[in-house]
Amino acid sequence: MSDAGAPPAAPAPGRSSHRTLRGRAELGVCAFLYLLAAVVLYDAASLGSDFTQRGPVGPAAVPTAVGILLIAVATLLTVDVLRGGRGAPEDSEDVDPDAPSDWRTLALLAGAFLTNVVLLDVAGWIISGALLFWGAAFALGSRHWIRDPLIAFAMSTGSYLLFSALGIWLPAGPFASGV
Amino acid sequence: MRTPPRLLTACAAVLVATTALTGCGPQGGPSAGGAPVSGLRIMVPNTPGGGYDITARSASRALEDSKLARNVEVFNLPGAGGTVGLGRTVSEKGNGKLLMSMGLGVVGASFTNKSKATLDQTTPIARLTEEPDVIVVPKGSKYDTIGELVKDWKADPGKVPVGGGSSPGGPDHLAPMLTAEAAGIEPKDVNYVPYDGGGELLAAVLGEQVSFGVSGASEFVDQIESGELRVLAVTSAEPVKGLDAPTLKEEGLDVDFVNWRGLVAPPGLDKAEQQELTDLVQELHDSKEWKDTLKTNRWTDAYLPGKEFGTFLGEETDRVDSVLTDLGLA
Amino acid sequence: MDALVDLLGGFATALTPVNLLYALIGVALGTAIGVLPGIGPAMAVALLLPITYGLDPVGAFIMFAGIYYGGMYGGSTTSILINTPGESSSVMTAVEGNKMAKRGRAAQALATAAIGSFIAGSIGTALLVLFAPVMVALALTFGADDYFAVMLLAFVAACSVLGSSAIRGFASLGIGLSIGLVGLDPTTGQNRLSYGIPQLADGIDVVIVAVGVFAVGEALWVASRLRRTPAAVVGVGRVWMGRADWRRSWKPWLRGSFLGFPFGALPAGGSELPTFLSYILERRLSKHPEEFGHGAIEGVAGPEATNNSSAAGVMVPLLALGLPTTAVSAVMLSAFQQYGLQPGPLLFEREPELVWGLIASLFIGNAMLLVLNLPLAPLWAKLLHIPRPYLYAGILFFASVGMYAVNASALDLLLLLLLGALGFMMRRFGLPVIPLIVGSILGPMAELQLRRALQLSDGALTGLVTSPLSIGVYAVIALILLWPAGRALLRARRPRSGGGPERRTEPADS
């Protein structure tokens, strides 16, 4: 089953040019799996399993098994990738399968998300959420300089009011005083 | 990521019955008399439906109905046996409008989770209620008295699994450990099987998965009444009204264990703020509404105001510490 | 049939114009709240509960049932439309449902979900009426060893959805299992992989995992290869379910109805396991296995029906024993107590009118859901016609507000982004996501039950096979394991066309 990811014969047109690159990139997945295995096994080893344990299976047993599974899978995957096996990228209606990775858009989008994580507790949801929406829409190519921020603020204010009407707390930020 | 029982904890997450909404209730409405406190929030460090939750929501309702406060908001911040909520409370330094509903379970959890935030950092406001644990067996069990149970238990603790509704360190874990100790069984040998509170434990006891179950009396009331469960003993020093069961002391086991619940506030409050909160809870305790609440929930009044509660907290912390240290959990 | 007579009596009390209005209001509110991301039925019910306080008990129950079903359906709606499940039971719905929506078949997905929910809810409630006492007795005999056996079965079943490459499937499963390890070990209370962060002590909520890997992962993936030229406009096609949709849906609805109920009735059954099993079952039985992974209607119909009928099953231990086994039923319990109704063994004797009124309310709420939501399905589907930047920005926006609202913790958002990055990586390198979800749900459950079983038997391995049921399940597992070996031999003789459903032989099909 190891070669099942991509058809060995007649690779799809438009993909062959990235082939070697993708081949190397997928080794990153193997590295990730090895790393994950190391983390899991290290954590398992640091558990004291002497107390309150009943029965032959202690708190470290399952993590150890998972770690071993990860190592095995990572090794098999490495072999598979080196032999030319490829995982087929997922298709989606909005994805252009032939396009190279657009790291700029990706970074902008992740940045918009992260901005919200950082700002949320400080600036409140109305500001932070609007930035998230606007930033994400901007990252994805929307360039309506008036409409976008307006929609963003409408969404964040609307959701804030709705949630607080329901009694679900969202950080108010600078608008907190009156509430 | 957790299992369905765990999802009880995880999935229900924050439910906030706001005052805005409770205000729609029949007895709500704005208050007129006195100078009701407003803007008070009570944090529940576990999921809706649990003991701290019911305590907080009942207290909030009683406060509003008795016009002592208006717009009391109850919110849940579950996690790690209450230590997530404890951490939040400790970090809300100087916030005089926040209370946390808590109890013995939080004491244990702050040990087992090695929590940085501890209860002695908080401002104790009051202990409100207490409830003994009961030792129950299903109606088909071969044990009719606690003596018979202890005899088998002593002979081979591993073969007599006991189910409880709290994770190690919680009240239902401490109660059987203290009982075992009193019976001369090494706590480490006790085969304690933790179930996810209420429902799952009850099913395990009724289905005879465990030899006996230990949990709060109120968890089992209906099943005891219908005869599905038999109470062998209660863990408090005094017998419980309405329960036909001896105390462990009467059966020769030196155990005095009750689970209690109370309220604490964030650290760093000035005298006036502290006084305001303790007075409010004192008035709550004296109100007719709270007395009714105690009755409907079959809680035992165990009111202990500010300072005394602080001392009590210290004692309980030491006691839990010593049991858990014995077990290697603290 | 005393039960039926009593039930009719229940309907007699429940079916008044005013009560129907309450049902309608309940469903409308429940759906409206339920579609808010992060708000599952438990939260919807708890939030809206106070509204019912002023009503008489029967009216309150009816509105309550409406809120409940509305909330559940609302969660499925977000699963289908924006790949953001509101709670764990609608995670499997997102898998095929969102794919359907992306292909312009959101209306059909929503319709099959609504009708399936109605049918399964009705069948589940009927089963509740007829078999509650029997089910309770059975459910109580279900021990840790039985749970573990069933979970092993689920793991074996999961192997059939590993995707086209078994190694990549196992990699995904391993990652999922690792995520499942995070948190307090339930048996000994030790922290694993939580690095002293208290928010991690209870583990990572499966909803966060699903939303992170599904919704955020997809947004990142799309961002990395955004189709700059407008895609060929997806024909909305028909607005309603066509004949083929009906033909393909009715069996999954029925199968789901009978699969979900018993799991719901089990004290530790829940809805994750049966919805997942239903998905696998439908994938195996479908005449169109090649559509799975691209929006197969069976993959929505089955899990949605299962989810609703397991919700009805949850009422069994709740009403008959007073056992709340899910978050929703815990909230319900407190709702019942508002009216002095104490669920438990004595309930049916003490308060027959209320109980049967409640059960009738469940039927009514369920029917009202259909009445209200079926016409809305095409409207919801139009939502997907907004420009792509707004759609994905909106998904991130709603995923964020929803996940934050649950715990008011910015840490959850960070987790969401990390899991989104994971989802991105998996999409890019063809790791299937379902095994990850399965691993993260089943892993902790299986470990808990395994260790509990061994603890109850005081360490003896025989503790894993104490009942005929567990032995039976192991026999089934053995059969399943041997079956593909035989089939693989057959398959090997045939040309490649027999490959897994996710095998792609062309760059893209769109």
Residue C297, token pair as written in the block: 């209607």
**Closest CA–CA distance from residue A41 to any residue of chain C (Å):** 10
Q: Which residue has the higher pLDDT, A85 or C116?
A: C116
Rounded to the nearest 10 degrees, what angle do helices C272-285 and C243-265 cross at? 140
What is the C-alpha to C-alpha distance for residues C8 and C23, in angstroms, rounded to an integer? 18
In this complex, do A110 and C506 lie within 8 Å of one another by their Cβ atoms?
no
Give DSSP secondary structure letters for C22-52. HHHHHHHHHHHHHTSTT--HHHHHHHHGGGG
Contacting residues for B5 by C-beta, under 8 A, at least 6 apart: B195, B196, B199, B200, C268, C270, C325
Co-location of A110 and A169 in the same domain: yes
% of chain C exceeding 70 in pLDDT = 90
In this complex, do C321 and B80 lie within 8 Å of one another by their Cβ atoms?
no
User: How many structural domains is chain A composed of?
Assistant: 2
Residue C178, token pair as written in the block: 């690792």
Using left for φ > 0, alpha for ψ between -120 and 50, and beta otherwise, residue B255 falls in beta
Cβ distance C283 to B17 under 8 Å? no
Co-location of A61 and A116 in the same domain: no
Q: Which residues of chain B are within 8 Å of residue A54 when distances are taken between CB atoms? A: 158, 191-192
B83 lies within 8 A of chain C by CB:
yes
In this complex, do B188 and A52 lie within 8 Å of one another by their Cβ atoms?
yes
Angle (CA) B209-B215-B220 rounded to 5° is 80
10 Å CB burial of residue B270 (0-12, 13-18, 19+) is exposed
| Radius of gyration from C-alpha coordinates of chain A | 24
Is A75 within the bounds of a domain?
A: yes
Give DSSP secondary structure letters for A126-168. HHHHHHHHHHHHHHTT---TTHHHHHHHHHHHHHHHHHHHHT-
Q: Which residues of chain A are within 8 Å of residue B168 when distances are taken between CB atoms? A: 52
pLDDT value at position A88?
A: 79
Contacting residues for A142 by C-beta, under 8 A, at least 6 apart: A148, C387, C389, C390, C393
Is A138 within the bounds of a domain?
A: yes
pLDDT value at position B11?
A: 30
Chains with ≥3 CB–CB distances under 8 Å to B: A, C
Is A58 within the bounds of a domain?
A: yes
Q: Name the strand (E) or helix (H) holding B89.
A: helix B83-91
Which amino acid is residue B205, in one-letter code? V
In this complex, do C142 and B210 lie within 8 Å of one another by their Cβ atoms?
no
The 8-class DSSP code of residue B137 comes to E
| Residues 230-269 (B) with a CB less than 8 A from some CB of C | none
Residue C282, token pair as written in the block: 């439908």
Residue B135, token pair as written in the block: 């030792």
Is A95 within the bounds of a domain?
A: no
pLDDT value at C432 more than 60 = yes
B132-234: CATH architecture: 3-Layer(aba) Sandwich (3.40)
Cβ distance C124 to C313 under 8 Å? yes
Give the tens place of pLDDT for each residue, B21-57: 333 333 333 333 456 777 788 888 877 666 787 788 8
What average pLDDT does the segment B311-325 reach? Answer: 87
**Closest CA–CA distance from residue A165 to any residue of chain B (Å):** 8
What is the C-alpha to C-alpha distance for residues A97 and B178, in angstroms, rounded to an integer? 65
Is C231 within the bounds of a domain?
A: no
What average pLDDT does the segment B59-70 reach? Answer: 81
Residue B216, token pair as written in the block: 């709060």
What sign does the dihedral B227-B231-B236-B237 (CA atoms) show?
positive
- Residue given tokens 């790949």 in the structure block: C83
For residue C118, give the 3-state DSSP assignment: helix
Q: Which residues of chain C are within 8 Å of residue B225 when distances are taken between CB atoms? A: 346
Fold for B4-130+260-327, please state it: D-Maltodextrin-Binding Protein; domain 2 (3.40.190)
What average pLDDT does the segment B123-146 reach? Answer: 90
Across the interface, of A43, A97, A136, the residue whose CB is closest to C508 is A97
10 Å CB burial of residue B108 (0-12, 13-18, 19+) is buried
Across the interface, of A50, A52, A166, the residue whose CB is closest to B168 is A52
pLDDT value at A44 more than 70 = yes
pLDDT value at C394 more than 70 = yes
pLDDT value at B5 more than 70 = no
Least confident segment among B27-31, B43-47, B91-95, C485-489: B27-31
Pairing of strands B212-216, B300-305: unpaired
Across the interface, of C164, C170, C226, the residue whose CB is closest to A105 is C226
In this complex, do A170 and C401 lie within 8 Å of one another by their Cβ atoms?
yes
What sign does the dihedral B182-B323-B161-B194 (CA atoms) show?
positive
Expressed in percent and rounded to 5, the helix, strand and coil fractions of chain A are 65, 0, 35
Q: Which residue of B has its CA nearest to A167?
A: B18
Give the tens place of pLDDT for each residue, C345-369: 667 777 777 778 888 888 888 888 8
Give DSSP secondary structure letters for C198-210. GGGTT---HHHHH
pLDDT value at B2 more than 60 = no
A36 lies within 8 A of chain C by CB:
yes
- The complex scores an ipTM of 0.84
Q: Which residues of chain B are within 8 Å of residue C183 when distances are taken between CB atoms? A: 1-2
Q: Which residue of A has its CA nearest to B167?
A: A52
Across the interface, of C187, C344, C440, the residue whose CB is closest to B223 is C344
Nearest to C85 by CA among C208, C234, C268: C208
What sign does the dihedral B197-B198-B202-B205 (CA atoms) show?
positive
pLDDT value at position C493?
A: 64
Angle (CA) C442-C422-A135 rounded to 5° is 130
Q: Please, which pLDDT band fits residue B329 given cuts at 50, 70 and 90?
A: low
pLDDT value at position A17?
A: 44
pLDDT value at position A66?
A: 94
Q: Which residue of B has its CA nearest to A50?
A: B328
Cβ distance B263 to B313 under 8 Å? no
B265 lies within 8 A of chain A by CB:
no
Q: How many CA atoms lie within 13 A of C243 on its CB side?
A: 0
The 8-class DSSP code of residue C465 comes to G
| Residues 116-175 (B) with a CB less than 8 A from some CB of C | 116, 158-159, 161, 167-169
pLDDT value at A178 more than 90 = no
What is the C-alpha to C-alpha distance for residues C136 and C147, in angstroms, rounded to an integer? 16
| Residue C243 CA from chain centroid, whole number | 26
Q: Which residue of A has its CA nearest to B18?
A: A167
Q: Which residues of chain C are within 8 Å of residue B206 when distances are taken between CB atoms? A: 140, 321
For residue B134, give the 3-state DSSP assignment: strand
Give the tens place of pLDDT for each residue, C156-173: 887 777 777 888 889 999
In this complex, do C325 and B26 lie within 8 Å of one another by their Cβ atoms?
no
| Residues 16-35 (B) with a CB less than 8 A from some CB of C | 16-17, 21-22, 24-26
**Closest CA–CA distance from residue C438 to any residue of chain A (Å):** 14
10 Å CB burial of residue C347 (0-12, 13-18, 19+) is buried
Contacting residues for B28 by C-beta, under 8 A, at least 6 apart: B19, B22, B64
Give the tens place of pLDDT for each residue, C34-77: 887 667 777 777 777 767 767 787 788 788 888 888 888 888 88
Q: Which residue has the higher pLDDT, C202 or C150?
A: C150
Across the interface, of A12, A63, A76, the residue whose CB is closest to C507 is A12
Is C393 within the bounds of a domain?
A: yes
User: How many structural domains is chain C composed of?
Assistant: 1
| Residue C66 CA from chain centroid, whole number | 19
Ranges of H-type helices in C83-105: 91-102
Nearest to B254 by CA among B183, B325, B186: B183
pLDDT value at position A16?
A: 43
In this complex, do A109 and C181 lie within 8 Å of one another by their Cβ atoms?
no
10 Å CB burial of residue B171 (0-12, 13-18, 19+) is buried
Cβ distance C114 to C374 under 8 Å? yes
For residue C342, what are the domain limits?
A: 2-226+236-498
Q: Which residues of chain A are within 8 Å of residue C228 when distances are taken between CB atoms? A: 96, 99, 141
What is the C-alpha to C-alpha distance for residues C8 and A1, in angstroms, rounded to an integer? 58
pLDDT value at position A21?
A: 53
Q: Please, which pLDDT band fits residue C465 given cuts at 50, 70 and 90?
A: confident
What is the C-alpha to C-alpha distance for residues C298 and C312, in angstroms, rounded to an integer? 21
| Residue C394 CA from chain centroid, whole number | 23
Cβ distance C151 to C464 under 8 Å? no
Across the interface, of A63, A98, A121, the residue whose CB is closest to C410 is A121
Which amino acid is residue A104, in one-letter code? R
Q: Please, which pLDDT band fits residue B81 given cuts at 50, 70 and 90?
A: confident
Is A56 within the bounds of a domain?
A: yes
For residue A160, what are the domain limits?
A: 103-176
Q: Count helices and strands (H / E) in chain C.
A: 21, 2
- Mean pLDDT rounded to a whole number for chain C: 82
For residue B136, give the 3-state DSSP assignment: strand
Q: Which residue of A has its CA nearest to B22?
A: A167
pLDDT value at position C495?
A: 53
Chains with ≥3 CB–CB distances under 8 Å to C: A, B
What is the C-alpha to C-alpha distance for residues C416 and C397, in angstroms, rounded to an integer? 12
Cβ distance B13 to B47 under 8 Å? yes
Q: Name the strand (E) or helix (H) holding B133.
A: strand B123-138
Residue B324, token pair as written in the block: 């858990």
Is A72 within the bounds of a domain?
A: yes
What is the C-alpha to C-alpha distance for residues B105 and B194, in angstroms, rounded to an integer? 14
What is the C-alpha to C-alpha distance for residues C276 and C295, in angstroms, rounded to an integer? 16
What average pLDDT does the segment A65-90 reach? Answer: 88
% of chain B exceeding 70 in pLDDT = 86
